Amino acid sequence: MIDHQRLHDLNQSKQAEHQLRLGYLSDLLSRRGLDAQDVIQQLVQFQVAIPSWALGTGGTRFGRFPLGGEPRNLEEKIQDIGLLNQLNGSSNSISLHIPWDIPKDVAAIQQRLQEQKLVIDSVNSNTFQDQKEQAYSYKFGSLCHTEQGVREQAIQHNIECVRYGEQLGAKTHTVWLADGSNFPGQQHFRRAYQRTQESLAAIYEALPSDWTMLIEYKPYEPNFYSMIIPDWGTSYSLCQQLGKQAQVLVDLGHHLPNTNIEQIVGRLLHFGRLGGFHFNGSMYGDDDLTTGSMKPFQLFLIFNELVDGAQDSAVSNPAVAYMIDASHNTKDPLEDLLQSVDNILGAYAKALLVDRAQLGEYQQHNDVVRAEELLRDAFLTDVRPLVQAAYRQAGGAIDPISAYRTAGVREQLIQQRGKLSLSTGL
């Protein structure tokens, strides 16, 4: 979509300004004993997966305003994510959604992935919608359903997801359940939990030994009285019962108002059970906005926990699987994803600036003001030159959104795929 020369030229035009800003910042950091290049190197290594369903214009139940040029199949989705990764070097993996992304020609898909230097990191099941060929409906639940036939069908679907994932080299299976109830009395809480646990155990049994199973939680929507896995406590207890390959997945938008999410992150790291993280932005609920667009300080505090856990030998948590999980109703989805990655890297960079030994000292002596100021110092630092340097060093664009626009990518996509192409997704 953007040839290398073009990208190189675009970078050239931004280079002088970028170098100036990077130079200033590097100087300031070095005065605090920090090496800018160290931070940049860690940013380059950071990768966040893009889900196949995030490439099209999303919508709410009230409507959808498509933009055109959306990918019509898995091959085109790979193309889009390859483009993102070309621009920011931070999105080298894809999360598949089954059945939307069932690979018809595995070898061809593998070839495409290789060409784009992408990998499939995880598969995601869908038991929140009915598919045409389905024997049973998920109207009243899937893994928690009262009828064995429905549960069996949902279990088989999940196992099928894992099998597709194996063909493509994935190592993670993510289960998000829309199961729940809309009205008091509709569902027997304890029995529904028990059935869910047993269904999950059946899926877990089919899991390859080097795979991880992520259990996502969400307090409401699409069910508005109860959700079968409403909170981290429920995910955690299910994981405990399933075994070591089961881990909790935290989605930023899946919390009740005012929840301290960074504390949950810290808890799960402490228990060694934080398996995955879904990024998005929200003000009211599962708003699925651009990551970092609403609560940038919260995003920083979450990265503060993640970095703190990663640097602490007392923590024995496996590597966390990061993914952007948003719905792009208002913006061009690709621009939205570029912004999200930008905000994620910015928060990560800031968390890397924190002097943890010093912070620990202040905490130990309850010097609240100094401890807070130390965190705020990192948060208030303008780290954008570091993120831009990471893009450039990874072979991408100093300013990915400008490059995307200047190259006229959306116009090209519309020309190729049509104004009315509609991608799967929400």
The CB-of-405 to a copy of itself minimum distance in angstroms stands at 9
Which CB, 65 or 107, lies closer to a copy of itself?
A: 65
CA distance linking residue 144 with residue 199, whole number of Å: 7
The CB-of-125 to a copy of itself minimum distance in angstroms stands at 14
- Find residue 212's DSSP bridge partners: 172
CA distance linking residue 342 with residue 340, whole number of Å: 5
Q: Are 279 and 323 within 8 A, CB to CB? A: yes
Which CB, 111 or 241, lies closer to a copy of itself?
A: 241
H helix count then E strand count, the chain: 15, 12
The CB-of-117 to a copy of itself minimum distance in angstroms stands at 26
Which CB, 90 or 317, lies closer to a copy of itself?
A: 317
Of the candidates 157, 177, 176, which has an alpha carbon nearest to the alpha carbon of residue 95? 176
Residues 6 or more apart whose CB falls under 8 angstroms from that of 6 comprise 407
- Find residue 250's DSSP bridge partners: 277
The CB-of-53 to a copy of itself minimum distance in angstroms stands at 12
Q: Is the dihedral of CA 297, 302, 303, 307 positive or negative?
A: positive
Which CB, 203 or 302, lies closer to a copy of itself?
A: 302
59-60/50-51 β-pairing: unpaired
Of the candidates 214, 213, 151, which has an alpha carbon nearest to the alpha carbon of residue 179? 151
The CB-of-105 to a copy of itself minimum distance in angstroms stands at 28
CB burial readout 393-402, b (16+ within 10 A) else e:
ebbbbbbbbe
Which CB, 23 or 169, lies closer to a copy of itself?
A: 23
Which CB, 105 or 189, lies closer to a copy of itself?
A: 189
Which CB, 33 or 63, lies closer to a copy of itself?
A: 63
The CB-of-114 to a copy of itself minimum distance in angstroms stands at 32
Helix, strand, coil % (nearest 5) of the chain? 50, 10, 40
CA distance linking residue 270 with residue 289, whole number of Å: 29
The distance from CA 199 to its chain's CA centroid, rounded to whole angstroms, is 25
The CB-of-60 to a copy of itself minimum distance in angstroms stands at 4
212-216/226-227 β-pairing: unpaired
- Find residue 87's DSSP bridge partners: none
Which CB, 173 or 350, lies closer to a copy of itself?
A: 350
CA distance linking residue 360 with residue 366, whole number of Å: 10
The CB-of-172 to a copy of itself minimum distance in angstroms stands at 22
Q: Are 88 and 154 within 8 A, CB to CB? A: no
172-175/119-124 β-pairing: parallel
Q: How is residue 222 written in tokens? A: 């699409």
The CB-of-31 to a copy of itself minimum distance in angstroms stands at 7
The CB-of-297 to a copy of itself minimum distance in angstroms stands at 5
Of the candidates 250, 260, 350, 352, which has an alpha carbon nearest to the alpha carbon of residue 310? 352
